[in-house]
Chains A and B, each alone.
Chain A
Amino acid sequence: MNRIKKLFQEKKNILSIYYTAGYPNIGDTIQIAEALQKSGADVLEIGFPYSDPVADGPVIQASSKQSLDQGMTLKLLFEQLKDLRKNVTIPVLLMGYVNPVLQFGVEKFCEACAEVGVDGCIVPDLPMVEYEEFYKDCFEKHHLSNVFLITPQTAEERIRKIDGLTNGFIYLLSSSATTGKNLEVGNTTEAYFSRIKNMNLKNPTMIGFGISDKQTFDKACSYANGAIIGTAFVKAIADGNLEESVSNFMKKFKD
């Protein structure tokens, strides 16, 4: 069984952490993965950087740019990830934009993911129709989950369709926003989270965008299987000792 499925069957209140590969230093990718696992992260989302990340706010944009300036490419990332499964046992997803994947080659990308032990992908600008027609078979052949995003504006019929197409989890955006905005759980957000919860989707859900502390994390977990933290973590590891920054950051989410 795929590591993602197994995790969601066994655990609640799942904490998933996003970070940009090759940031703050080009060679940090594996070290961060190991440190996060050690401090209690349940899932890792490793971002492969893109020059024009339209869905991202300033923090993740800046980390992407720094990583690219330091020489990160998908090819280099897969080389770094050869050591991923030496110590890391938790599910790992790659997250990034579609153009680098296209240039790398979709088939080759899926093969490389499977080879290094990546469990799934999140490609925000890959449309559902394109995925269904050109990517799905390849993803499934290599046992990769593809995670789709939904927002408060996503229509119910479309959510059902996404639920039918995905086989990992559904990424619930707390609002329509670029990454790094704060989560303000007002009445409308709560109504939206409840609406999704009551749809009884076949896939588990994870809430993302705007989760930055224990309070917002717990709130998210009351509506979904867990939550995703990105910007707050990327900010926290910008400088200082990497191991310490990771462990200090993760302490905020533990009792």
Chain B
Amino acid sequence: MAKRIDVKDLDIYYGSFRAVRDVSMTIHPRAVTALIGPSGCGKSTYLRALNRMHELIPSARVEGEVVMDDQDLYAPGMDPVDVRKHIGMVFQRPNPFPTMSIYDNVAAGLRLNHKRMRKSEMDDVVEESLRGANLWEEVKDRLRKPGSGLSGGQQQRLCIARAIAVRPDVLLMDEPCSALDPISTHAVEDLMAQLKENYTIVIVTHNMQQAARVSNYTGFFNIAGTGQPGELVELDETPTIFSTPTHSATEEYISGRFG
């Protein structure tokens, strides 16, 4: 659990268009790394490249290295399905499986990975994951009801429970709170603070206060202009980025002068 990721000289292309240029960074285990930057700067694309979800777009490809604890995620013969089993993802909009109950949603990943698991064992993992996502108390009496009946914030925590049920090494979150109200956002942020005890977390956010609140490290992405590739301007400990950033662009962005 909680592995470290080293990214080296990563370029991401859509067809012949280079969307992200030359990113190198170390993502520390048991910490929250936040990625901020203006819209269209490639931070979501970059996040998806970490568990190879970008490959769903047929023309997308990467050059460079992503190494998780000495394991090259883009090595030939590396199955993207295996990568995603170890690097879970939570999306912008809550996406529980609508035809499944709350219980089945959490168990979905388990059923994929451990074909034969005893009922009692499954119950335990589902409870543990829901507790881990701070959702157990709210749903324990209606585990068999559809997950789509929950509120948006509850659905998002259900998705987090589903993601951690398979015990990933890393959890990627793509603007997990942008579709949630402030109270639900607070609940999810609290949850992140707990989860980083056991997981490596990378979160993309548009909300700089959020980045300041939840993250240990912050990376700032920027683009030089339309049609230009996005690039990582700098990555440092969050207090440093928000008080004394190295680059002027970072300072301008976090002080709200653009973006």
Does chain A bind chain B? no
Taking Cβ atoms with an 8 Å cutoff, the residues of A that contact B are none
